[in-house]
Amino acid sequence: MNYDSSMSGTLKRRLALAVVAGVGATLIVSAGPAAAGGVPHIRGGETVPVYSYENAVRESVWVQTPLDNDEDGVPDKVAVDIVRPRETADRRLKVPVILEGSPYYSCCGRGNESERKQYDANGTIVKQPLYYDNYFVPRGYAFVAADLAGTGRSTGCMDVGGREEVLSAKAVVDWLNGRAKATYADGTPAVATGWTNGRTGMIGKSWDGSVANGVAATGVEGLETIVPISAISSWYDYQRYNGVLRVEDYPEYLFSYVNGRPASACAATVSRLDEGSDDATGDYNAYWAERNFRPDARKVHASVFIAHGLNDTNVTTDQFAQWWARLGVPKKMWLSQAGHVDPFDLRRADWVDTLHRWFDRYLQGLRNGIDREPAVSIETTPGNWVNERSWPAARATSQRITLGNGDGTTGTLGGGSGRAVRTWTDAPDLDEATAVASPATAVPGRAAFLSAPLTQEVRVSGTPSVTLRVRVDKPTTELTARLVDYGTATRVNYLARGEGITTLPTESCWGAATAADDACYRDTAPSLVTADHAILTRGWKDAAHHVSLRFTTPLRPDRWYTVTVPMQATDQRLAAGHVLGLILQASDNEYSTPQSTGATIDLDLRGSSLTLPLVGRLPKPGAVAPAVTTAPVPRTFAPPRFDPLVP
C-alpha cells in the first residue's frame, strides 16, 4: 500500500522487535536501562515489551452486575478472563486495562480467523482471541476479556444492545475501580485494585465496539478511552432504515446467534425482544430509545478512536457519522474504502503503531503527541490515505441540486424540470445491479438522473439526502435512493466476500507467544475490482414515517407529500470525466425485507431535489443527460440483510 508519510523510526524499531513474518513466535528483546521513576516498561515516552507473556498471570473471575434479568433471584454475573504481567504485581506496580466485552468468544470467534477463547483442563484461560494481550501485556497493560451477560460462561440473558448488555460490561469497569464485587470460581472474593490503577480502555469490532459506545455513554468513571471499530451507536438505525424493516425478527435472531443459556432461562427476555422491537410498524419507541447511545454522547468523557469502512453495508456509516458529530471529547478516526473490516487487516503496521500510541497516551498518560496530530485518516483510493484535521471535509458545503426533466426518460442533476412528473410502480424484484446499470435506458421500477460529465474532481464528504415530492396510490411505500459514480476506475471490491480484503497464506506475528497462543495472523491484501460504475451511498425511508419515526401517517392518494430520504454518510472522490447519478426506487429486496404495497409513485420534479455535501461543484447540466452505458456488477456473496452482526 501507499501511505502519505514514511514509516517512522519508532515503527521500524517496533517491527524489528515484534514482527516475525510466518513464524509462530515473537521475540522479546531487552528494553535497556531501568526507566526513570522505576517503571520498567516505559522508555523514551513509550511503553516497551519487558515483561514475560508466557509467565503472565492468567485468571478468571465472575463480576456481579446490578441486574437479574434471568429472574432466578440471584444477581447476574459476567465471566471475565484476565491476562496481566506477573512482574508488575510482584513489584506492586498497578497497570491500566484494555477491556473487550463481547458476545462472540464462545459461539463465533473474533477477528478474520474467528479465534475463540481456549482453556486448560483446570479452566484457566490459555488463549485469548486477537493480539491485544500478546502485544500489550509485555508492555505493562492487563488485557481483560468479558463474556457479555447471557453469553459464554456468564449468567443473565443477552438483551441485544439493551441495559443488561451495557451494564454487564460497565460492571467490569466498576470492578476494576473497586466499585463492584467479583469472585473466583470457588466463591472467594476477587479484588482488582491491588494490581490495576483502574484506568480502562475498551476496544472491539462490530458488536464489541457497540458495547464500548454504550458503556462510554453511561459516563462511568475509570473508562478513559474507547476504540469502537465498525460499531453501532443506535440499534434502531442498525435494524431499521427510517421505518424500513431490515429483516424480520432480527433481535431474536441475534439473541439466538450468541446465546449461551438454556432456552427456558431467557424465554421472557426473548418475548420482550419480539414485542419491543415492533416489526409490524417500524416505529421508534422506548425499546429503541434504550438502545440509542447518541443522546448520551454528552456524558462521554473517554477519548474516542473510531475506525469504520465507508462501504460497510452491515454496520452502515451513519453509525459512526452521527456518533462522531456529537462527541465533545478528544477523538480520532480512520475511514477506509472497505466494508466491515478491521483496520488490522487493512493497514496492519500503521494500525498497531497508532493503537499503541493511543493507549500509551490515554491509559499510560504518556505525552507522545498523538492528540496533536491530524484527527482523521481517510483512504481516498485503494491503498492511498490522507490525513485531515476534521470530518466532514472543512471545505464541503451543502449544495441543493434540482432534478431536471432531461429527455423525459433520464433526468438531469441540475437544470429545469418544467411541470414534469416521473411515474413508476414498485418492482420489489428489481435488484440493485440492474437498477443502477445503463441509466440512459428505461427500466421499470426506477427513475434515473445524471449530471453532466465532471470537468474537475469533486468530493462528496458528509451525509447526502434527497427530498422527494410524491403522490402515492397506497397508504405507504418504501423509497430507496442510490448515489452512483459512473466512470471506469479501480476500486476496493467491498461487494466480494472479503468485503475489500483477500486473506493470504503467509503470516505475521504481533506480540509475544506461548505454546497455546502464537500471536500470528494470516496476512491480507486488498481485493480490487475495475468497473465502469460504483455505488457511493444508499438511503431508505418508509414514506408513512415522513412526519416522525415514532408513528406512521398514512398517505392519501389525492395528496402530494414531501418526503426526505437521508442517505448514508460517505467520503468519496469522483474523477474528472465521470458522471454522478441518482437512482430512485421504491422497495429494496437486498438491503431490507421489502414490505411492498405495490404502490405507484408520482414524483413532482419541481418540488424535489438532491442535497450534497460537496467540495467543488457539479458542472452546468445540458438539456439532456449524457449517454451512459454500463454492465451490471453483481455481488458475489449473500445479501447483507441476511448476515448477522458478523464478528
Q: Give residue 205's identity as a one-letter amino acid code.
A: K
Which 8-state DSSP code applies to residue 347?
S
Residues 6+ away with beta carbon under 8 Å from 57 = 82, 83, 84, 85, 86, 89, 195
Cβ(378)–Cβ(385) under 8 Å? Answer: yes
Catalytic residues, which ones?
Answer: 206, 312, 340
Q: What is the DSSP string of 169-216?
A: HHHHHHHHTTSS-EE-TTS-B---TTTEEEEEEEEEETHHHHHHHHHH
Count the alpha carbons within 13 Å of 204 in the hemisphere toward its beta carbon. 35
Paired residues of 217 in beta bridges: none
Q: Give the sign of the dihedral formed by CA 259, CA 294, CA 224, CA 309.
A: positive
Scan for cell 494481550, then name that residue: 133
CA nearest 399: which of 416, 381, 385, 414? Answer: 414
322's enclosing H/E stretch is helix 318-326
Cα 56 from Cα 83, distance rounded (Å) = 6
Scan for cell 440509542, then name that residue: 292
Q: Can you list the positions of beta strands (E) in 313-409?
A: 331-336, 376-381, 384-388, 397-404
Cα 536 from Cα 580, distance rounded (Å) = 10
CA nearest 567: which of 451, 483, 642? Answer: 483
Cα distances (Å, whole numbers) of residue 526 to 313, 337, 376, 646: 18, 10, 21, 20
Nine-digit cell string for 201: 480502555
Q: How many CB atoms lie within 10 A of CB 395?
A: 10
490's enclosing H/E stretch is strand 478-492
Nine-digit cell string for 28: 522479546
Three-class SS of residue 271? helix
Q: How many CB atoms lie within 10 A of CB 504?
A: 11
Scan for cell 454496520, then name that residue: 315
570's enclosing H/E stretch is strand 570-574
How far is residue 353 CA from its own chain's centroid?
A: 21
Residues 6+ away with beta carbon under 8 Å from 271 = none
359's enclosing H/E stretch is helix 348-362
Residues 6+ away with beta carbon under 8 Å from 444 = 424, 425, 427, 430
Cβ(465)–Cβ(565) under 8 Å? Answer: yes
Cα 307 from Cα 304, distance rounded (Å) = 10
CA nearest 71: which of 257, 272, 256? Answer: 272
Which 8-state DSSP code applies to residue 78?
E
Cβ(401)–Cβ(413) under 8 Å? Answer: yes
